[in-house]
Amino acid sequence: MLSGDNVVGVPMLAISALLRTATHPSLDHLPERLEDALGFIDDLMAMPNVRVVHTDGKHWPELKRTLEESGAMGRSITDAEFAALALSHGATFYSTDKHFRRFPRLRWVNPLATAER
């Protein structure tokens, strides 16, 4: 995906989650140094086909509809946020997390599987 010609959108929410997880001191691994984690993000953003995806004026109505359709609550709210962001941009969402099946309008692809949904 990253080496292809297709544009790859990376939500700002995913960037902050990666930084939060990679630098968290209480995880089972040694935390990354902040400068290393930031460097990883800089390298990712320097790829010619990678773009940061932001919310727009369509996002709240899309998120609300996605929540209502899926019944997502609690920890699933973040998944709904990602789904709504992809939906509002007309994008396909790539994730190995099978919980994204719960969003019926989302074009979801597990990049490790052979079949597209």
| Burial bucket for residue 5 (CB in 10 Å: 0-12, 13-18, 19+) | exposed
80, 72 Cβ separation under 8 angstroms: yes
4 confidence band (pLDDT: 50, 70, 90):
low
Task: State the average pLDDT over residues 79-91.
Answer: 94
Q: What mean pLDDT do residues 20-48 have?
A: 86
DSSP class of residue 13?
H
Question: What pLDDT digit, counting tens, does each position of 97-109 carry?
Answer: 999 999 999 999 9
Q: What is the pLDDT of residue 61?
A: 95
For 42-71, write each residue's pLDDT tens digit.
999 999 999 999 888 889 999 999 999 999
Q: Which segment of 18-27, 60-69, 80-89, 98-107 scores lowest on mean pLDDT?
A: 18-27
* Residue 38: predicted pLDDT: 93
* Greatest extent of the chain over all pairs of C-alpha atoms, in Å: 40
Q: Tell me if the domain spanning 55-117 has CATH number 3.40.50.300.
A: no
**In the predicted structure, residue 1 carries a pLDDT above the cut 60:** no
> Which pLDDT band holds residue 114 (cuts at 50, 70, 90)?
low
What predicted TM-score, i.e. pTM, was given to this entire model? 0.79
- Residue spans of the domains in the chain: they are 1-54, 55-117
The pLDDT score that the predictor gives to residue 95 is 93
Alpha-carbon distances, residue 10 vs 24, 25, 26, 45, 114 (angstroms): 21, 25, 26, 9, 22
Secondary structure E strands in the chain: 8-11, 50-53, 93-94, 108-109
